[in-house]
Chains A and B, each alone.
Chain A
Amino acid sequence: MIPRIYIPGDSGALALGAEKVAKAVRAELAERGIEAKIVRNGSRGAYFLEPMVEVATANGRVAYGPVKPSDVKSLFDCGFLTGGHHKRWLGAPDKIPFLARQTRLTFARCGVTDPLSLDHYKAHGGLKGLQNAVAMTPAEVVKQVTESGLRGRGGAGFPTGIKWKTVLDTSADRKYIVCNADEGDSGTFADRMIMEGDPFVLIEGMAIAGIATGATKGFIYIRSEYPHAVAVMQKAVEIARKAGVLGVNVLGSANSFDMEVRVGAGAYVCGEETALLDSLEGKRGQVRAKPPLPAHKGLFGKPTVINNVISLASVPVIMDKGAAFYKDFGMGRSRGTIPIQIAGNVKYPGLYEAAFGMTLGEIVDDIGGGTATGRPVKAVQVGGPLGAYFPRALFDTPFDYEAFAAKDGLIGHAGIVVFDDSADMLKQARFAMEFCAIESCGKCTPCRIGSTRGVEVLDRLSQNVEPEKQIALVTDLCNTMKFGSLCALGGFTPYPVMSALNHFPDDFRPTPVAEAAE
């Protein structure tokens, strides 16, 4: 058997030098005259071990990492093709504690299979969900998804099945499935990872959504900052089309469904669903007022399911193993698993898929291992640039939609950014306002003007100009933005600002000592 070497082609791994490692491995193979197959898999998500190279041996896969190009020669010398020992030896990848403790449902194949091999996909349980779906009525598929308790993983947490039912029940000559892959939140990379590492699962999820609602056309709107994900998805769609997974007869059934990959143009606000629809239509990505809901009048005025990547990618496992299986994981009204993305200043950054219900402290301290700098954790921002900053005092909050809402925070797309004690929370609050000002679509006044005024007020605060007045003013402004904005950009910018102010009040009162020292 020809040895198989897995070297991730995931952007995160590439950013850490995977391409150079692949080049070194190819050169070493050529020099030693060894024939081997190099598979460019996705990442398993343990980024502190990337580039993580794996080899398939008689006793299963053996991982090595983080591998530097300079390690490659010695890896061959140590017989790594048969799992030989080396200082980078990690053993069986699924026994690595960071990976072993996870519950991988949505990301079961990510980092394991060849992303562009449909055979590999099928061999690892792929397409079973779609096969089940084509044998069912649309209403039965919708019922399964509703019963699974799956809620929108993009951040809003709206029940996916209810959204699908609305589209199913709305009659129209044409309906659409739109996948929101405009993953702009800092600290999140789950969408990117699944698109680069297991693109067929997203295609399968979208095809199931099409069958369930009577939609025949899908669009994946990917942000332009993800060129690798765009390339992989485009290739995967072509492969799926050739194999009959997409097209006029999905898997040989009477259902027709096809899709296109579209690329964004650098506007954060297009991650908001109605702005995304306008952008797809070729307009400025401005937010629409609701109603009408996209489920009634969405893309080109037609009933449209618009779901996040992870919501859609979670559907195949639900349709394969059943609603009850999926629903068994989780707590309260948050069912199933969530891919938590641990990022920023953290010792063990990466993607960690687990059932809902772990506490924030477990995620940051136990799994993330504290900060990368070794300094104390000061704050964690959960849910991207519109998410609240949590202090250590709230580390007992369980990862659950309602529990976070009760603490004036949000899960969002489940990205967690860790900051050490050198973080200046006034600066972070100012950045939240500044970011909102840069990215506002300009349609509603609280967001467009409020964000700029917010920056000015916080600047005056940092210059210690009538601080009490500025704090009162920014609090009032946040209230206006929260309740007066059209969408979550203006409406949620107050979360990071007010949480920083409430939990870290000392940072909002510049010390006279520091001034005297200058």
Chain B
Amino acid sequence: MTMQPASTEIASRTAAIIHELKGLEGPLLPILHGIQEEFGYVPQDALPVIAEALNISRAEVHGVVTFYHDYRSQPAGRHVLKLCQAEACQSMGSDAIAAKLKSLLGIGFHETTRDGSVTLEPVYCLGLCACSPSAMLDDEVIGRLDDEKLNEIVAEVRS
């Protein structure tokens, strides 16, 4: 199990991130990105701290956090695998790739393996449409996915 920090610790680390970014014009998204980078997700306990610092309601912060696909309410697995499911990849068989990957990992989209090794997510375009089907494992881009590459990915996330 991933250890989650205590609420007082979340509050103090959140305050430090806010302090650093508050001077930006429109600082909320950069702050949320900073928090997600710090904790791996956006903890509930961070929201009131942000709301107070930016002088907006907690509901507004909640509204923003839940609007964007990127912000997580829970920590992800050690790796995040994003598999492109948009049209260019569809034209090259991304449906079959997704089905295969789900069965290899034993999870569906938006799920994390029980050992916490990997979270699988669909993504709608990585801009790698000239080498479809494509994926992104953490920050590493992978094009022209085939069975061999899928097996390599699975081996890598499990190692």
Contact = CB atoms under 8 A, between A and B. Distances in A.
A114 B109 CA distance: 38
B69 to A, nearest CB: 4
Given A14-B141, A344-B88, A344-B92, A265 B129 contact: no
B153 interface: no
Contacts of A228: 139, 141
Contact of A265 (B27, B70, B90, B130): B70
Interface stretch (A281-289, A358-366, A501-509): A281-289
B124 A184 contact: yes
Given A15-B141, A186-B87, A428-B87, A262 B128 contact: no
Interface residues of A, number: 65
Contacts of A345: 91-92, 132
B65 to A, nearest CB: 9
A225 interface: yes
Given A283-B64, A343-B132, A345-B91, 20 more contacts: A12-B143, A14-B140, A15-B144, A16-B143, A47-B130, A48-B130, A50-B131, A186-B87, A188-B125, A225-B127, A227-B139, A264-B68, A265-B69, A265-B70, A266-B68, A266-B69, A282-B64, A345-B92, A349-B132, A417-B87
20 contacts: A12-B131, A14-B140, A16-B144, A48-B130, A186-B88, A186-B129, A188-B125, A224-B70, A228-B141, A264-B70, A265-B29, A266-B68, A266-B69, A282-B54, A283-B64, A372-B92, A417-B129, A420-B91, A431-B90, A439-B124
B68 A189 contact: no
A283 B70 CA distance: 15
A183 interface: yes
Contacts of A300: 25-26
A189 B67 CA distance: 25
B154 interface: no
A381 B89 CA distance: 13
Question: Which of B86, B89, B139 has its CB near the most chain A CB atoms (within 10 A)?
Answer: B86
Given A225-B123, A385-B87, A431-B87, A285 B128 contact: no
B71 interface: yes
Interface in B54-109: 54, 60, 63-64, 67-71, 82, 86-92
A428 B89 CA distance: 12
A280 B125 CA distance: 21
Given A345-B92, A431-B90, A284 B64 contact: yes
Given A47-B131, A349-B131, A417 B26 contact: no
Contact of A192 (B32, B70, B127, B136): B127
Interface in A262-290: 262-268, 279-286
B30 interface: yes
Interface in B22-45: 24-30, 32-33
B125 A184 contact: yes
Interface in A227-285: 227-228, 260, 262-268, 279-285
Contact of B125 (A14, A185, A372): A185
Nearest to B95: A427
A423 B89 CA distance: 12
B128 to A, nearest CB: 5
B126 interface: yes
Nearest to B143: A15
B150 interface: no
Binding site of A, secondary structure by majority: helix, strand, loop or mixed? Answer: mixed
Contacts of B69: 265-267
Contacts of A433: none
A350 B127 contact: no
B157 interface: no
Contacts of A381: 87
Interface residues of B, number: 44
Contact of B29 (A188, A263, A384): A263
A263 B33 contact: yes
B130 A186 contact: no
Interface in A333-351: 341-345, 349-351
Contacts of A192: 127
A226 B131 contact: no
A470 interface: no
Interface string A428-444: 10010001001101000
B17 interface: no
A187 B129 CA distance: 5
Nearest to B30: A262
A415 interface: yes
Given A14-B141, A15-B134, A280 B91 contact: no
A15 B54 CA distance: 40
Nearest to B25: A300
A418 interface: yes
A333 B127 CA distance: 29
B130 A418 contact: no
A11 interface: yes
Interface string B5-30: 00000000000000000001111111
A176 B69 CA distance: 27
Contacts of B30: 262-263
Contacts of B130: 12, 45, 47-48, 189, 341-343, 349-351
B127 A189 contact: yes
